[in-house]
Chain A
Amino acid sequence: KAGVTQTPRYLIKTRGQQVTLSCSPISGHRSVSWYQQTPGQGLQFLFEYFSETQRNKGNFPGRFSGRQFSNSRSEMNVSTLELGDSALYLCASSGRTGLPDTQYFGPGTRLTVL
């Protein structure tokens, strides 16, 4: 069974640009969560989507946004990139039923902002 996939795996952008990251969940999973991992702040929750609706949101500025499509694939977008946005962005999928369930992570997208 295919796991969570994320594309692209690596990205280099410059300050002020925007970026879109993609996540394809495990087949049948309906929940996708996004996390940012940095050496200084560790792993922090960005947001979660379930059945195309944002269900939870972390404490990130509005420059960080996301969406989910009817096939459960999800994208996150970061506008007006800042140097501090350089991080590993991980997505995780879970939840065939909407109840609390184990999250399975993808390999991540490494974003470097110059």
Chain B
Amino acid sequence: QVQLHESGPRQVKPSETLSLTCTVSGGSMSSYYWSWIRQPAGKGLEWIGRIYGSGSTYYNPSLKSRVTMSIDTSKNQFSLNVSSVTAADTAIYYCARLYSSSWFIFDSWGRGTLVTVSS
């Protein structure tokens, strides 16, 4: 059973860059998509984007100009950067495995980490 764990600063100042890392254990990263999803307090889920084991990416157009994802399969990690953050980026950030067959499903999730944008 694959397990995921998010890590990174819990507080980021406005206009700076939010950086998170997801460490994957219990499975190979190479043949899967890996995703970030965020959830503002008391609100719904927003898909940020995905990265494949090869490094190819897709970003949600709503965030595309500010988001970068990377992957290091040798370390079993993938990462998220969100630049020029504002208070609207305050949320719980989840990393997840995005299983792809003829459909896409988030079949394994990290516990999530709350990131607060505040000076």
Does A pair with B? no
Chain A residues proximal to chain B, CB less than 8 Å: none
